[in-house]
């Protein structure tokens, strides 16, 4: 049961990482009904966050399961997460609308606010 929960948690993080990568592309944002990100800097920040999540899950998988099986587990979960994101974007893109709106918010996780800049 613990191994299943570990794999499921990694799968959720990988799903979010691939959803972030997908939502930096115009076609996928249009499918969710959210306007395009205007700033190239913002897109680069979101993509950088997705890459950090991908590398973090690889490190966690290898650290928990060992070099051989951990890498194999990560590769399988990466392909499964990418297929899941493609499926969601094809059939129910509205599921990703809250995440797309969060990324459009200028005061969300990846960008500094006015108060942080002035300090």
CA distance 49 to 15: 13
Global confidence as pTM: 0.82
pLDDT at 46: 87
Domain boundaries, the chain: 12-112
Q: pLDDT tens digits for the chain (119 residues)?
A: 888 899 999 999 999 999 999 988 888 877 887 777 777 888 888 899 999 999 999 999 999 988 899 999 999 999 999 999 999 989 998 888 888 888 777 665 555 555 555 55
CA distance 78 to 14: 6
pLDDT at 114: 53
pLDDT at 93: 85
pLDDT at 108: 56
CA distance 96 to 102: 10
Is 29 buried (19+), middle (13-18) or exposed (0-12) by CB count in 10 A? buried
């Amino acid at each position: 049961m613990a191994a299943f929960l570990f794999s499921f948690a990694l799968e959720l993080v990988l799903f979010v990482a691939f959803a972030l990568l997908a939502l930096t592309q115009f076609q996928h944002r249009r499918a969710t009904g959210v306007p395009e990100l205007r700033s190239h800097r913002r897109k680069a920040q979101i993509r950088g966050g997705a890459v950090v999540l991908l590398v973090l899950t690889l490190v966690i998988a290898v650290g928990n399961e060992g070099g051989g099986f951990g890498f194999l587990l990560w590769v399988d979960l990466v392909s499964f997460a990418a297929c899941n994101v493609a499926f969601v974007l094809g059939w129910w893109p509205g599921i990703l609308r809250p995440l797309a709106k969060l990324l459009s918010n200028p005061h969300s996780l990846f960008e500094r606010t006015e108060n942080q800049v002035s300090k």
